[in-house]
Amino acid sequence: MSFDEKLNHLVEEALREDVGDGDHSALSCIPADARGKAVLKIKQDGVLAGMDVARKIFAYKEPVSVFTAFKHDGEEMKYGEKAFEVEASVHTILQCERLVLNCMQRMSGIATLTKVYTDKLKGYKTKLLDTRKTTPNFRLLEKEAVRIGGGVNHRFGLYDMIMLKDNHIDYCGSIEQAIERAAAYVLDKKPGLKIEVETRNLDEVKRVVAMAKGKVFRIMLDNFNPGQIAEALQFTGTDFETEASGGINLDNIEEYAKTGVDYVSVGALIHQAKSLDLSLKAVPLP
């Protein structure tokens, strides 16, 4: 499914959850044919995210709605600014209001925090990855917000990459067996699917390097400190991408970047982000 197809599914389910058998607040006091206009007001500084999503939400509900953007995804936003204006049926505006705000507030919070992290990486080769530590059924937009904030999306789910983590390895019996079985599976079932393997110590790194060239494309260095990362990179060479994961935060991310590791993954981008304050207010039509 494309991004737009996934978004349409998300919007459909979210509106069904919220509207149920009818928006009785609006139905009770607003004529069905009433037209209206509303403006999104920014009430907190940060990085704006979700503009394109908001436009698509209104268009999904009412294709002839008129959406006028004053700012764009990824731009810095300041208190008191206006992000967009929409003209549509009043019922459409009221039914979409909370969904638009929930998406944009959450996405802007994630994009803002991601930008703080990526600013720390300026001047280094290291790139910032997100994780699967996401909100069920909202991963699509949380990862989009990371991208808007300047981060790089890791795998979206269990289906678009093989990641052999500690539990896979332990259930399999050894890191070598897990890699061999995964590589055979790819050849037989999913040609082209990439394999990443998690390592827990330098010995495992050496074992992967010794037998997985051409099979594994990235080695995750899990809970390695910067000194251990630097030592591991002496063995990985250019045959493998490298990813540092675990315990990385704003206070130490530069120390990891200084090692030359290709990627750092930070679950906090999403699960520690705070939603930003936005509001959608009615504008009287002339």
Q: Active-site positions?
A: 98, 133, 165, 198, 222
Single-letter amino acid, residue 277: D
Helix (H) or strand (E) holding 241: strand 241-245
Q: Which residues pair with 220 in a beta bridge?
A: 198, 243
Backbone dihedral angles phi then psi of residue 195, each to the nearest 5 degrees: -120, 125
253 by Cβ neighbours in 10 Å (0-12 / 13-18 / 19+) ranks as buried
Q: Which two tokens stand for residue 118?
A: 């990526």
b or e along 99-114 (b: 16 or more beta carbons within 10 Å of the residue's beta carbon)? bbbbbbbbbbbbbbbb
End-to-end Cα, the chain, rounded Å: 42
Single-letter amino acid, residue 67: F
Q: Which two tokens stand for residue 162?
A: 């093989």
* Contact criterion met (CB below 8 Å) for 130 and 151: yes
- 3-state SS record for 92-159: HHHHHHHHHHHHHHHHHHHHHHHHHHHHHCCCCCCEEECCCCCCCCCHHHHHHHHHHCCCECCCCCCC
Rounded to the nearest 5 degrees, what angle is found at the Cα of 50, between the Cα atoms of 46 and 52?
135
